[in-house]
Amino acid sequence: MGKGMVIIGAGEAGGCAAVAIRQAGWPGPVTIIGEERHPPYERPPLSKTHITDEGAPEPRLSAEAQKFDEFDILHRADIRVSRIDRDGKRVHIEDGGSMGYEKLLLATGAQARSLPVKGGEYALTLRSHEDVWALRQFFRQDRHIVIVGGGLIGLELAASANRLGARVTVIESQDRLLARAVPADIAARIHETHRRHGVRFRLAVAVEEITRTGVRLRNGDRIDGDVVVAAVGAQPDVALAAAADLPVDNGIVTDAGLRTADPDIFACGDCAATRHPLFGDAPRRFESWQVARDQGELAGRNMVLASQDQSAAPWFWSDQYDQQLQIAGLPELGETVVKRTLDEETALHFYLSENGTLVGAAAFGPLSLLARDMRISQRLIAGRARPDATVLAAPDQRLKTLLAA
């Protein structure tokens, strides 16, 4: 058997890439290597239904994983790659074996960041299906859950714990929630939604120590809890790339076609810092389920066919109780904000660059109000549209007319 296409990382991005390689016409071996015992599975439910459902949670296999047999894709589970030999084009496995590759894809994802404080090992984290089992022991009525980190995962876990009847306290070192990911006015609405459901917050405070019974803050205050959960972001898994002398900068650096400095090695998903034609030359890391899928499909095609650049506008969502947050593009690049009121509580925010190009859109509210306009916003961002601000702001004007313009 000759050298084949090898993918390190059996997550959403790796699974999409494996199927895309076959669909692009590659006839040789396709192997996907994962450290977990499961084939690629959906991770968004981990912080939501896998916590709250009464029955024992089972991994929800991705649509691509269910096609592995049909497409003759070999999934090797419970295997850790120890190093990459770029000169010999081989990956070496910890058990002593090795595998040659024609092209290699690094889809190694990211790991939950630990809290760099005394007692940080006492805090639970959420990144994999196995982590859910530990959390479910504590997420129940009359328990007090202390969550360190007011980002998306922390708030999704807060909503799940609240739904199960637990008391929840969220500790955030910044002076507001979602400081890295969400515009301030939308973050304020999300904060108020959680507050109305009884979640308590401590903002602009740092954790000094974690104990078996709670946390001690830097100001001396103590917060007792049945469990402490660290939800302070994710660290891209770049160890293999760095050891192989591939450029790393908060992720494995790639060009717009997801190729690294080595023309036979690609990277995509949470581990990759990619150049995106919509947002300039700086490598950026996009952590989202949809981006992992888009990049996986593109990387798989580019490993077989002529290279294409990324073109889809990044997009993510987060469920918070009966509301949904959606963000498309990069709102932080906007110089001007245009607000489109959808109802008395819900508004869609558009972010325009200095020259009027739409670079981001964001909203928080009922999905039925957001879905259509957010889909159109994605298309406008991907098309580098410079929409008429008066149309964006007028709820009686259909956004779809801007696509034609």
Tell me which of 202, 230, 258 is where a domain ends: 230
HSE, side-chain direction, 13 A CA sphere, residue 125: 16
Q: Does residue 246 share a domain with residue 98? A: yes
Select from 119, 156, 392, 184 the least CA-distant residue to 289: 156
We report the CATH number of the domain holding residue 346 as 3.30.390.30
DSSP letter, residue 259 = B
**Look-up: residue for tokens 């100001």?**
219
Q: Does residue 146 share a domain with residue 100? A: no
Residue 308 lies in a domain: no
Two tokens, residue 105: 């894809």
Q: Does residue 225 share a domain with residue 118? A: yes
pLDDT the model gives residue 96: 85
Instruction: Confirm if 16 and 296 have CB atoms less than 8 A apart.
Output: yes
Q: Does residue 358 share a domain with residue 216? A: no
- Rounded distance, CA 60 to CA 66, Å? 10
We report the CATH number of the domain holding residue 105 as 3.50.50.60
Q: Whole-structure pTM over 0.85, yes or no?
A: yes
Instruction: Confirm if 188 and 262 have CB atoms less than 8 A apart.
Output: no
Residue 327 lies in a domain: yes
Residue 34 lies in a domain: yes
Tell me which of 245, 271, 302 is where a domain ends: 302
Instruction: Specify the number of domains making up the chain.
Output: 3
Strands 4-8 and 30-33: parallel
Cα angle for residues 285, 287, 288 (degrees, 5° grid) = 140
Q: Does residue 130 share a domain with residue 31? A: no
Q: Does residue 246 share a domain with residue 226? A: no
- Rounded distance, CA 370 to CA 349, Å? 11
Residue 216 lies in a domain: yes
**Look-up: residue for tokens 């830097």?**
218
Q: Does residue 126 share a domain with residue 196? A: yes
Q: Does residue 341 share a domain with residue 269? A: no
Strands 167-172 and 144-148: parallel
Q: Does residue 103 share a domain with residue 24? A: yes
Based on its alpha-carbon atoms, the radius of gyration of the chain, rounded to whole angstroms, reads 22
pLDDT tens digit at each of 405 positions of the chain: 468 999 999 999 999 999 999 999 999 999 999 999 999 999 999 999 999 998 888 999 999 999 999 999 999 999 999 999 999 999 999 988 999 999 999 999 999 999 999 999 999 999 999 999 999 999 999 999 999 999 999 999 999 999 999 999 999 999 999 988 788 889 999 999 999 999 999 999 999 999 989 999 999 999 999 999 999 999 999 999 999 999 999 999 999 999 999 999 999 999 999 999 999 889 999 999 999 999 999 999 999 998 999 999 999 999 999 999 999 999 999 999 999 999 888 999 999 999 999 999 999 999 999 999 999 999 999 999 999 999 999 999 999 999 887
Q: Does residue 14 share a domain with residue 102? A: yes
Residue 316 lies in a domain: no
Domain residue limits at 385: 322-404
Q: Does residue 81 share a domain with residue 33? A: yes
Two tokens, residue 380: 């406008």
- Rounded distance, CA 331 to CA 160, Å? 27
Tell me which of 173, 202, 230 is where a domain ends: 230
- Rounded distance, CA 252 to CA 401, Å? 39
Residue 314 lies in a domain: no
Instruction: Confirm if 170 and 201 have CB atoms less than 8 A apart.
Output: yes
Q: Does residue 118 share a domain with residue 105? A: no
Two tokens, residue 78: 């419970």
Q: Show the DSSP H helices in 74-170 as ranges.
A: 129-136, 152-163
- Three-state DSSP class for residue 325: strand
Residue 313 lies in a domain: no
Residue 309 lies in a domain: no
